[in-house]
Structure 1
């Protein structure tokens, strides 16, 4: 590795103080070590009866004499050289995460005790990392390497990962998409769940362009027959020479007031407008959306002429034909005409989407469920509509609501009939804070799924650059968090709320490099670890695309053992 990096098992120093809550103080053994040790370095501490595992979360300069700073500026260079490492020294703050008896008879457990003074602290070795994170096998994938340990593999337990909803966070350009591809490809290759990816920017299907300008393969290129591509925009897919399995069409009858409630901030619809949508649905049922817009189109021939007054008893149940203008509707619902007309204008935006087709019988849900139940993974491309957040939110929320209902039915039937439950489904969604904000998380299907954990074998993989915009309760249900660089204080606080060692982890997060570094912590890993994410390129393609050594029957047996 060279002289600027620590070596496996290299001694860093010894414990001179600290506590379990704020971390242990390690006095580094030499000035040279001080410049090689980094925040995020994975270390071990050899106690008398236990071996402790932790990470460096801070570093500080110190001296044996508190008066040292007052006379340091006038000191001769020759004298200062003598004092370095003796009267002055560097302290590393180490947060202990796990401990294991030296006998090795039990598995690592969260650190609840401390090593004694003068316990030796070392940079972790490859064997140490393997003992904690495991090795690549049928349930573990290599996701990256600890800092300055490029030849060492940190593996992620995919079976534990898919048991809960998870999150990939980081600001734009920090490597979220590449990290997400690694996770999705691992889930697909190990066959631990089925993926449904709402691909906002057409990055996960066939190919995408990296930050450096070169093309990288998507899931369809890597796994071809195991992946289906659905699209809202066939012309975009055709231009990119992407083979499409299904063109998505949404029927107006599939749009519910709940969808409008999610879109209200984008469409400029007030709470009164949302309530009015619910009233329209109560009156016209599934045809409320198209009926309302049709009545609105007749406003030029309004029956609100001089001397005309529509008489409809509240107890009656008038049909669409009863209303000859939007003003008639306003009077029936006891709303102002301006409120009704404002709602009409805003809902017209949805009617302008070419994938919303009046009179069509949508087959999208049926086609989606056929693919998912057969074990095929689905990438849902938005084409030109990916830049329209309203279209993205509408389609993702609408389809996820219907899919969740299907999985709920399948799961309940399996329990009743004592059959195997449906294969776990992982739904990947970008711009997650739009679905899971504090204002609407309790009303969207995504909030429901996050809080249910895997009750109906459906979980989320949320990809977002603004975790502070996600509801606190939902964020607390995210099982495993993989966090690339974030520079917003509120985002850091939101991610670490409720985590052990919040202050120390915040220090680590704030020092991540801008690309390919991440802090991994949560349910699917034994302890937090700072990673350099592995390259998503030729080596990864060759490895992940290789045929599994297990037969389909063996994989199904593993799945039954894990999920019942």
Structure 2
């Protein structure tokens, strides 16, 4: 039975009254006159409040504040700094503060938890009371970590509140997601948090293209102190994470033994892997067409054959296959750079690395591919394209088999691929050529989604951005980047001001598929308590630690 407004039990759960609604609309949002006892400096953009209507509670976000006055004469002759009494007399009568609110969700009074919050389709009446949100309000909207289903993962706290804001990890794994923010705002830290949630609750298996060696093992703390390091995914989750390395020597120098060393043969590279590198290699379209001519004759040996040529032989070869000589010479010269990569070999002797990665993923073991000192953008684009393309091909086959048999044992594990510098893969030109553009547009039809990390979301193709389910965004200053992040979101004016006013560290605006409403959070600390919450092996009793290691070893290698 629903409780009435005057019910004592309800009163105990109400937050402090901070003002009343004075005007507004469904489209443009509402305005609250701040109570004279409240300090306007306590009202921060992104703060979470609750409007108590007659029939519904409206969960809302503070988007703007302004100072106002009944009598403009007061503003022409303001009281001096020493006139403290006069200033207090004027406050709340002649002068007052207006706070702009954006209602995000509404819930009927007396609704049971199963009803859940609903989209806003009404507004509260004049003089409806506005209250500070309380812990139970936040939990009602965002859930609480520790539920039996393992659905909710705490990503941080609302501003000025000590309670959890949780991502719905089931919904997070369902779609491609983005983590955005300008350089130095902690994107890698946010990415580690999101990956920890996916791994801890086993909602997706992950393939992480780790360009700067920040996710597998130790990484430098976000405060930039060279003497302070935080644990990587391998240290937190042990055998549930495998490290593959393109630069084994660099990996060993950091005190880490890679689970697998990565080598790629020239015969594993297709023209489709080269085409997206046009900008990086400064190739014209004719050069790519010439590559297809070589492939048509030599098939998988096309690149090895081309790179074996020297000087004048390239022009002669162009005449033989009917290619434009100048374009083929340019293609040959640019692709010669691949021979400088130590992981490129004529023949792979230790098995196909993609098959090996797939074995780990099939077992539910997350793979971090470290690049070591091979941090050139050409290297990153090439390797990520080659591996992701073939992994996707395998997932398409597995998915088609599942759709045909409809047997549970044939259902592929949900895979999330993490890429940094995402605009290099997903700009309007590359998105039509790379496998990553295909994955983003497929909407997990084949059980593969993306976690894109980037500082310039405005450079990402609009169609791809529209498919990003959840956006976790740190501070952005560029107006084009802010507009890109808010593409397809209603009420963008208020959110734009919130996004531009974030702190440069440990604050983020989260919106989209995995949260019921946009929310600004102070992100969770990545510290020893977090390690314990994730079940870090180093922090477990010896017997339990050994049992977990043994269990992981069996998962990796079987009982033998």
Q: How many corresponding residue pairs?
A: 517
Structure 1 residue 75, shift from structure 2 partner: 11
Query: Who is 2:93 aligned against?
Result: 86
Structure 1 residue 376, shift from structure 2 partner: 0.8
Q: Is the 8 A contact 2:293 2:323 kept in 1?
A: no
CA distance in 2: counterparts of 1:478 and 1:75, whole angstroms? 51
Structure 1 pair 250/8, CA: closer, same or farther in 2 (3 Å)? farther
Q: Is the 8 A contact 2:290 2:327 kept in 1?
A: no
2:515 equivalent to 1:525: yes
2:185 equivalent to 1:185: no
Structure 1 residue 55, shift from structure 2 partner: 0.5
2:339 equivalent to 1:351: yes
CA distance in 2: counterparts of 1:336 and 1:253, whole angstroms? 23
Structure 1 residue 256, shift from structure 2 partner: 1.4
After superposition, give the CA deviation of every residue in 1:430-456 in whole Å (9 maximum; x if it has no partner).
111110001110211101111111101
Query: Who is 1:555 aligned against?
Result: none
After superposition, give the CA deviation of every residue in 1:89-110 in whole Å (9 maximum; x if it has no partner).
1100000000000021432101
Query: Who is 1:110 aligned against?
Result: 119
Q: Is the 8 A contact 1:170 1:486 kept in 2?
A: yes
Query: Who is 2:553 aligned against?
Result: none
Q: Is the 8 A contact 1:31 1:84 kept in 2?
A: no
After superposition, give the CA deviation of every residue in 1:125-149 in whole Å (9 maximum; x if it has no partner).
0110001111112111111000011
Partner of 1:441: helix, strand, or coil?
Answer: helix
Q: How does 1:22-421 map to 2 (within 5 A)?
A: 22-30=28-36, 32-66=38-72, 68-72=74-78, 77=83, 79-105=86-112, 106-136=115-145, 137=147, 138-149=150-161, 151-212=162-223, 213=225, 214-294=228-308, 296-297=309-310, 299=311, 302=312, 325-360=313-348, 363-385=352-374, 387-420=375-408, 421=411
Q: Name the TM-score, length of structure 1 as normaliser.
A: 0.88
Q: Is the 8 A contact 2:399 2:412 kept in 1?
A: yes
Given candidates 421, 440, 444, the residue that maps to 1:454 is 444
Q: Is the 8 A contact 2:17 2:132 kept in 1?
A: yes
Structure 1 pair 17/403, CA: closer, same or farther in 2 (3 Å)? same
Structure 1 unpaired stretches of 5+: 1-6, 303-324, 553-564
Partner of 2:130: helix, strand, or coil?
Answer: strand
Structure 1 residue 351, shift from structure 2 partner: 2.1
Structure 1 residue 488, shift from structure 2 partner: 1.1
CA distance in 1: counterparts of 2:293 and 2:79, whole angstroms? 77
After superposition, give the CA deviation of every residue in 1:342-367 in whole Å (9 maximum; x if it has no partner).
21110101122111101335510111
Query: Who is 2:552 aligned against?
Result: none
Q: Is the 8 A contact 1:165 1:450 kept in 2?
A: yes
Q: Is the 8 A contact 2:21 2:127 kept in 1?
A: yes
CA distance in 1: counterparts of 2:424 and 2:439, whole angstroms? 15
Partner of 1:527: helix, strand, or coil?
Answer: coil
CA distance in 1: counterparts of 2:402 and 2:322, whole angstroms? 47
Structure 1 pair 546/328, CA: closer, same or farther in 2 (3 Å)? closer
Structure 1 residue 34, shift from structure 2 partner: 1.1
CA distance in 2: counterparts of 1:185 and 1:243, whole angstroms? 21
After superposition, give the CA deviation of every residue in 1:109-162 in whole Å (9 maximum; x if it has no partner).
01110000000001100110001111112111111000011x211111101100
Which deviates the most, 519-528 or 355-364?
355-364
After superposition, give the CA deviation of every residue in 1:306-336 in whole Å (9 maximum; x if it has no partner).
xxxxxxxxxxxxxxxxxxx212222235455
Structure 2 unpaired stretches of 5+: 1-12, 549-560
Q: Is the 8 A contact 1:31 1:89 kept in 2?
A: no
Structure 1 residue 381, shift from structure 2 partner: 0.5
Q: Is the 8 A contact 1:60 1:92 kept in 2?
A: yes
Structure 1 residue 286, shift from structure 2 partner: 1.0
